[in-house]
């Protein structure tokens, strides 16, 4: 049987401009190219897990605009099951993105329908889906919805993966129902309140009852094994576009976790997929070989 993954989270349309450098205040610059694609942290993570072969369900909320049907079709094309998508009047989420010639990005997320996802309907969907191997969440939907679905899943024996992005301090109830907590190093610093280093990671992990993995960009990722920090290095590549790399990591990690791989195998697969993604333009489009 395929590993079963359920992602509760956001879906956006990415509007990506590629520039040599991003403009200063009041400045206009010419861009090199533009493309529109599918994004949103929840959607990205679901698509990566689907590409890898999981049975993936997405619980998200879309607007009544032209992006709704496009997004649903994209999910289906990437083997993501769309039976439990919610729809509300108004706009779907969008994300204008600037990517400079080094591959670094600046992103503005306009949540739209993502802010209106209904937690009660999400619980009903989980009841119909049945017990997934892994439930995944992020912070592009309201915190109380994450609390509802994580509490339901965790109490029913489901492994839960929380990606606290964009950076926001999780509530105690959410952390108590989280099996794996996966920030990047910047998010870790904003949530923890101090710089990322091995000692601070150990101190943080001792104060939360969950497994912690911190992604470190081109340096790889860090996790705790036998009360010490272990770093797994990423392959060195030329980055073209880093947009969505963190979501590639979380989606691949969730697939591997649902497949019952050991932690190091999970992290190595996640790093490989994240590293591959930065060598191509786009978000979800960069996940495919």
Q: What fold does the segment set 4-20+36-281 form as a domain?
A: 3.40.1190
Distance, C-alpha 183 to centroid of its chain? 10
Q: Which helix or strand (DSSP H or E) is residue 81 part of?
A: strand 80-81
**Mean pLDDT confidence for 126-148:** 97
- Residue 36 sits at φ, ψ, to 5 deg, of -110, 140
Largest CA distance in the chain: 56
Q: What is the DSSP string of 130-173?
A: ---SEEEEESSS-HHHHHHHHHHHHHTT-EEEEE--S--PPPHH
pLDDT band at 105 (very low <50, low <70, confident <90, very high): confident
pLDDT band at 241 (very low <50, low <70, confident <90, very high): confident
**Mean pLDDT confidence for 250-274:** 98
Whether the predicted pLDDT of 288 surpasses 90: no
What residues are labeled active site?
247
Whether the predicted pLDDT of 38 surpasses 90: yes
Domain boundaries, the chain: 4-20+36-281
**Mean pLDDT confidence for 81-98:** 95
């Amino acid at each position: 049987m395929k590993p079963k993954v359920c992602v509760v989270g956001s879906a956006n349309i990415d509007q990506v401009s590629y520039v040599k450098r991003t403009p200063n205040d009041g400045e206009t610059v010419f861009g090199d190219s533009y493309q529109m694609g599918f994004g949103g942290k929840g959607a990205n993570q679901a698509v990566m897990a689907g590409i890898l072969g999981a049975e993936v369900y997405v619980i998200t909320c879309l607007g009544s605009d032209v992006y709704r049907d496009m997004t649903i079709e994209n999910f289906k094309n990437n083997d993501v099951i769309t039976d439990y998508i919610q729809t509300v009047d108004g706009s779907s989420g969008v994300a204008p993105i600037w990517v400079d010639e080094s591959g670094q990005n600046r992103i503005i997320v306009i949540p739209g329908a993502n802010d209106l996802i209904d937690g009660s309907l999400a619980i009903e969907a989980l009841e119909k889906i049945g017990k997934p191997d892994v439930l995944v969440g992020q912070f592009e939907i309201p915190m109380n919805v994450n609390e509802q679905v994580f509490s339901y899943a965790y109490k029913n024996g489901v492994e839960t993966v929380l990606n606290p992005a964009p950076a926001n301090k999780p509530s105690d109830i959410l952390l108590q129902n989280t099996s794996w907590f996966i920030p990047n190093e910047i998010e870790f610093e904003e949530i923890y309140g101090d710089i990322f280093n091995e000692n601070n990671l150990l101190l943080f992990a001792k104060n939360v009852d969950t497994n912690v993995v911190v992604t470190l960009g081109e340096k790889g990722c860090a996790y705790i094994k036998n009360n010490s920090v272990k770093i797994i290095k990423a392959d060195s590549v030329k980055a073209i576009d880093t947009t969505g790399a963190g979501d590639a990591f979380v989606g691949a990690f969730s697939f591997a976790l649902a497949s019952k791989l050991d932690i190091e195998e999970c992290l190595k697969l996640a790093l490989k997929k994240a590293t591959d993604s930065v060598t191509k333009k786009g978000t979800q489009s960069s996940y495919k070989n």
